[in-house]
Homo-oligomer: A and B are copies of this chain.
Amino acid sequence: MERIAATCVLLTFCVGCLQVFALKSQLLTRVGRSPFSSNTPVSYQTLYFDQKIDHFGFLEDGTFKQRYLVADKHWRNPGGPILFYTGNEGDIAWFCNNTGFMWEVAEELGAMLVFAEHRYYGESLPFGKDSYSDSKHLNFLTSQQALADFAVLLQSLKSSVQGAQRSPVIAVGGSYGGMLSAWFRMKYPNIVVGALASSAPIWQFPGLVPCGDFYRTVTQDFAKSGPNCDVNIKKSWKAIDNVTSTASGLQWLSEEFSLCSPLKNKNDVFSFKGWLQETWVNLAMVDYPYTANFLQPLPAWPIQAVCKYLDLGSTASDRQLLHGVSQAARVYYNYTGSASCLNTSQTATSSLGFLGWYYQACTEMVMPMCTDGVHDMFEPEEWNFQAFSDGCSAMFGVRPRAEWAGVVYGGKDIASHSNIIFSNGALDPWSAGGVTHNITDSLLSIMIPEGAHHLDLRFSNDLDPPSVRAARALELSLFREWIRQAGKTAGTSSTS
């Protein structure tokens, strides 16, 4: 049991641990208008680029259609900048619709917006419906290949789009997309003049940050969002064990949570606890100050809403406590009131590609995490690389390489790079693996104390705290500075 837990908990980026993945045909928007934006229209062209399946070998010479979205309404032609979203593990249209910051600064910068989909996600499937069929077809799903896709796509755009040849490009991304934007600047400074890496845990790799910080941050979010909130969640794990020790308790808990699939045995209980743990993590990620729909539709400051149900005294019985937990979980899973039952195999939007991210975690993206039940509100679980690796081998037939990301992306030795903003929200558990201090005067950290996961990249909102407004203003001014620098140093790049 422990082995599976290690595999699951540590695979999460967009979380969704116990979910059975099914590749679904995504709802495709040819010319889309976001339901999320309020004032700024999100209108773009959907285009496809013939991308090499393998950039690092020449045996596989095939191509696939990489999807990218272009909005050039405000673009100053020729030479206006390009803001380039380095797509992460999901449908690019979803990221496009959730990255309001780019839409809101486009006019001011005279910028073209490009959102490039990450291979193996959304529509950009190198082998169509077979892309996930086995480790042979999955072999080209790496961040290195994705960065090369972005570089080749941009090189092509700059040479084929009239007026774009001298356009400076700024990479923008959030979460894993933020890691990609930072790495894109590090590895291809010839292609991008700078990068905004929002909530990008580029140090969540072996040996770089303490493995427990992620869950400590989650715990702190709950601790400060309501009386006894973290304490009661911590108690709930034992309460679940107690209650489910009998058949009637299993039935009671299943009914209390309106579970679509009632709990039947210890394995189910184990999975149920994993699902709850992910729920709390997800809430920490999306603890936004206003009503939003990112992973799920949620009220403003959703953890506060959750914690209202967990403000119980120390004398509450197990069942009273679990009733509170069930009400809390419904904040996340049934804010709209439309769920007839709670589905423990689903924790977030289907716009994210969980299986792809699992594969990435099982290869390059080895992100150690652990809990101790002392500094966090979770059951203790050590980081066990061997168990994790065995789980990956069983699931995909591949084994993770723990050291590789640190070698190829520099670990903490990144000071020789330049023009990268690392923005982090203090509420976001991923900030634990992020760059939260300035490294040099052009590798800057922006901390947003009231921010959750890449709040700065979202559309602005009347309820935004001043810190995120200031962050966006600083980001915009740095964009301007990079564009100015690029204009000064631009030379001819071709002589023949």
Given A58-B399, A135-B58, A155-B407, also A494-B208 (CB < 8 A) = yes
A57 touches B140 (CB 8 A): yes
Contact B493 A210 (CB under 8 A): no
A148 and B58 form a contact (CB under 8 A): no
A494 vs B190: C-alpha distance when bound (angstroms): 30
- Min distance, Cβ A432 to any Cβ of chain B, angstroms: 11
Q: What is the CA–CA distance of A418 and B418 in the complex, to the nearest angstrom?
A: 11
**A411 contacts partner chain B, Cβ-Cβ < 8 Å:** yes
Kindly list chain B residues whose C-beta atoms are within 8 Å of the C-beta of A136: 59
Size bracket, chain A contacts: 35 or more
Residues of B contacting A55 with CB < 8 Å?
404, 408
* Copy total for this chain: 2
Separation of A208 and B151 alpha carbons in the complex (Å): 18
| Chain B proximity of A134: nearest CB distance (Å) | 9
Interface presence of A39 (CB below 8 A): no
User: Is the Cβ of A57 less than 8 Å from the Cβ of B407?
Assistant: no
Q: Give the Cβ gap from A15 to chain B, nearest Cβ, in Å.
A: 22
Decide yes or no whether A341 CB sits under 8 A from chain B: no
Q: Interface readout for A29-73 with B: 1 if CB under 8 Å, 0 if not?
A: 000000000000000000000001001111101000000000000
- Whether, in the assembled complex, A496 has its beta carbon less than 8 Å from a beta carbon of chain B, the answer is yes
* Residue pair A189, B410 in contact (C-beta under 8 Å): yes
| Interface-centre pick from A151, A152, A190, A209 (highest chain B CB count, 10 A) | A190
Asked if A494 contacts B418 (CB within 8 A), the reply is no
Min CB distance A397 to B, Å, is 8
A207 in complex: contacting residue of B208, B211, B496, CB < 8 Å: B496
Complex alpha-carbon distance, A412 and B190, angstroms? 8
A399 to B52 Cα, complex, angstroms: 13
Main secondary structure of the interface of A (DSSP, over half): loop
- Looking at A135, A187, A407, A492, the one whose CB has the most chain B CB atoms below 10 A away is A407
Say yes or no: is A334 at the interface (Cβ < 8 Å to chain B).
no
Given contacts A57-B142, A58-B139, A187-B187, whether A210 and B407 have CB atoms under 8 Å apart is no
Q: Which residues of B contact A491 (CB under 8 A)?
A: 412
Contacts of A145 on B, CB cut-off 8 Å? 56
Contact B191 A59 (CB under 8 A): no
**CA A70 – CA B4 in complex, angstroms?**
44
Interface membership of A387, Cβ < 8 A: no
Which B residues are in CB contact (< 8 Å) with A417? 189
Residues of chain B with a CB closer than 8 A to A496's CB: 207-211, 368
* Nearest residue, chain B, Cβ from A145: B56
Interface residues of A in 411-465 (CB under 8 A from B): 411-419
Interface status of A372 (Cβ within 8 A of chain B): no
Within 8 A of B (CB), among A477-496: 489, 491-496
Counting CB contacts under 8 A, is A144 at the interface?
Answer: yes
Cα separation A189 to B138 with both chains bound (whole Å)? 30
Tell me the nearest residue of chain B to A140, going by C-beta: B57
Write the nearest CB–CB distance from A371 to chain B, whole angstroms.
15
* B399–A61 touching, CB < 8 Å: yes
User: A395-412: which residues lie under 8 A (CB-CB) from chain B?
Assistant: 398-399, 401, 403-404, 406-408, 410-412
- Chain A residues within 8 Å of B, Cβ to Cβ: 52, 55-59, 61, 135-136, 138-140, 142, 144-145, 148, 151-152, 155, 187-191, 207-211, 363, 368, 398-399, 401, 403-404, 406-408, 410-419, 489, 491-496
16 pairs, A vs B, C-beta closer than 8 Å: A52-B401, A56-B56, A57-B140, A58-B401, A148-B407, A155-B403, A155-B406, A155-B407, A189-B416, A189-B417, A190-B410, A190-B411, A190-B414, A207-B494, A210-B495, A210-B496
Top 9 nearest A-B pairs (CB, nearest first) are A190-B410, A190-B413, A56-B56, A189-B416, A58-B398, A59-B139, A57-B139, A58-B363, A412-B493
